[in-house]
Structure 1
Amino acid sequence: MNTATTPSAPVPAGDYVHGYSPREGRRLGDQADTLARLLHAGTAYRAGSRVLEIGCGIGAQTVHLLRSSPRAHLVAVDRSEDSLAQARTRVAGIAPRAQVEWHRADVYDLPFADAEFDHVFVCFVLEHLPDPPRALAGLRRVLRPGGTVTVIEGDHGSAFFHPDSPFARAAIECQVRLQAAAGGDAQLGRRVQPLLAGAGFDEIAVRPLTVYADGTLPALVEGFTRNTFIPMIASVRDRALAASLTTTAAWEQGIADLRRTAEDDGTFHYTFFKGVAVNPQSPAES
């Protein structure tokens, strides 16, 4: 396994609304492991193909890409050197046939040649970018004609639960507003198809991937409701209070009410959207 990081010019850090704490790293790992079967179903790349994973972060999704496509050549990119270091450690125990390169780079300035990759994989990245169309245009440039792009994004507007609570919904709205203030869109899932179409991709197919957790599904209650979604919302507490989006009492009630949905008689629903599309052939090749 190639674990060298390709050197490049320093990349300025942006504003990731959830932060880079060890707790956030654990949340990302729990999320990837809990949702692996749902999100990665049908995603496997042939031996020898070159696959670009953009925004690999700490490698939470990289592990599952390597497991489903152990003989593909994966190029994992992130703008954070600290995240790349964690990603290298995370994938170190994967099957020795797996090949992975690491690059520190920005999605808007990719250091790759035109048509260099057979496939591109983007998971939970576009929602944090101020200009997703520009990012997709750059990804299309490095994707060969006939190659595929896979985009997976969530949509906080799809979250509903029992018992319902205006305080819980207000806490989620705080996260949505903070992410928007940082240039992102926590409801981007509903835009996957128009974004891909606007970037010039063809054969676009988008599927909703629903997570539903109740007392009969304890693994999802623990892995998603308790360990993924609620910590994601809880991580913006200080920012929400500093921005006067809520009060301490209202915030604590909202998080308590979200935790209530993970009890035996509670339910929780959320939808991700997975889009797969093809980079069209040039006129000379079609």
Structure 2
Amino acid sequence: MGTDYVHGYTPAESRRLTDQAQTLADLLHAGIRYPAGSRVLEAGCGVGAQTLQLVTRSPGIDLVSVDISEESLAQAKARIAAVGAQVDWHHGDLLDLPFPDESFDHVFVCFVLEHLPKPEEALVELRRLIRPAGTITVIEGDHESAFYHPRSTAAQAAIDCLVDLQAASGGDALIGRRLQPLLKDAGYGDVRAWPCTVYADETLPHLVDGFTRRTFVAMVESVRERALAAGMRTPAEWQAGIRDLEKTAAPGGTFHYTFFTSVGRKC
């Protein structure tokens, strides 16, 4: 299950993922605590930004983290080694994981399904690995939930480039809204989903900087070369869109975005 990671494997993207995880830790990990001794699979750990939250917030778990990118795994290993935590690392494809049936008490998946051409197949494969009554937790965003002030046609066009490029690579930047039916159709029971909303204005400078500027605007900027190469925007049009998007992080600007979390159980 090769995947074309639309944001690219760059130092800038690693920084963005780290900023995102740190800024949104309390929002995205609210209520996610695994009992000590639980065997937990993190499917698609990337550079370890969310791995750090898992080992910090659920001490004593037996964590296994998997990713398809060896470069990302190397960064994840270094990140976790720096805090002295123990993680069992594996390089592998989510559709072909080398674990026996019912190997894990819980599975955690964050910002992964959006990049997969067939997220349903990945969810079915992960269900195979969960013990009876065990759980899966999935977190994804939805780029059409972004609305902001000042309004800007140019800024929206830049965001739309990201959405369209991700679709062209087989992903879905709007997948957050359909997590509940995805998990249900993959055979999970007791499926629940809920929104996790971020709102930032000048009274919340940590969110303006950590989310609006360093997470969302940086995410859109990451596809600049692809958007220009595809002829979606001219360089001047792209720059105008980014300039207008940056105004939402300036005094008087506001920004809103919604993530979605869904939890299902192995029946």
CA shift, 1:14, in A, is 3.0
C-alpha distance in 1 between matches for 2:86 and 2:131: 20
Listed one character per residue, the Cα deviations across residues 209-235 of structure 1 (whole Å, up to 9, x for unaligned) are: 000000100000000001000010001
- Matched residue, 2:118: 131
The more displaced of 242-251 and 104-113 is: 242-251
The question of whether the paired residues in 1 share the 8 Å contact of 2:2 and 2:93 is answered with: no
Is the Cα contact below 8 Å between 2:3 and 2:115 reproduced in 1?
A: no
Between the aligned residues of both structures, percent identity stands at 63
Please give the alpha-carbon distance, in whole angstroms, between the structure 1 residues aligned to 2:236 and 2:266: 50
- Residue 164 of structure 1 pairs with residue 151 of structure 2: yes
Corresponding residue for residue 194 of structure 1: 181
2:242 is matched with which residue: 240, 255, 258? 255
1:44-77: CA deviations, max 9, x gaps?
Answer: 1111110000110110000000001110000000
Partner residue in 1 for 2:68:
79
Inter-partner Cα distance in structure 2 for 1:247 and 1:164: 20
CA RMSD in angstroms, aligned pairs only: 0.9
**AA partner of residue 178 (structure 1):** L
Equivalent in the alignment of 1:118? 105
Distance (whole Å) between structure 2 residues aligned to residue 92 and residue 269 of structure 1: 35
Report the CA distance between 1:145 and its aligned residue.
1.1
Question: 2:39 — aligned with what?
Answer: 50
Q: Which amino acid in structure 2 is aligned with residue 225 of structure 1?
A: T
Code of the residue aligned with 2:171 in structure 1: it is G
Q: What secondary structure is seen at the aligned counterpart in 1 of 2:87?
A: strand
**Pairwise mapping of residues 183-222 of structure 1 onto structure 2 (< 5 A)?**
183-222=170-209
**In the TM superposition, what is the alpha-carbon distance from 1:102 to its structure 2 partner?**
0.1
- Give the whole-Å Cα distance in 2 for the aligned partners of 1:195 and 1:205: 11
Question: What does the per-residue CA deviation read over 1:58-110, in whole Å, with 9 as the maximum and x for residues that have no partner?
Answer: 1000000000111000000001111111001101133x5x4310000001101
Task: Report the Cα offset of residue 121 of structure 1.
Answer: 0.1
Question: Is 1:25 equivalent to 2:22 in the alignment?
Answer: no
User: Match of 2:256, SS?
Assistant: strand
> What 5-or-longer segments of structure 1 have no aligned partner?
1-11, 281-286
Shift of 1:142: 0.4
Q: Which runs of 5+ in 2 are unaligned?
A: none
Match of 1:4 in 2: none
Equivalent runs, 1:274-285 vs 2, <5 Å = 274-280=261-267
Partner of 2:51: 62
Counterpart residue number, 1:178: 165
Q: How many residues align?
A: 267
Correspondence for 1:35 among 24, 28, 45: 24
Deviation at 1:248, TM superposition (A): 1.3
**Which runs of at least 4 in structure 1 moved beyond 4 Å after TM superposition?**
none
- SS in structure 1 of the partner of residue 33 of structure 2: coil
Q: TM-score, normalised by structure 2?
A: 0.98
Decide which moves more: 12-21 or 149-158: 12-21
Please say if residues 118 and 144 of structure 1, whose CA atoms lie closer than 8 Å, have aligned partners that are also in contact: yes
Partner amino acid, structure 2, of 1:40: H
CA deviation profile, 1:104-143 (whole Å, cap 9, x unmatched): 0001101100000000000000000000000000000001
Partner of 2:79: 90
Work out the CA distance in 2 between the residues paired with 1:252 and 1:81.
33
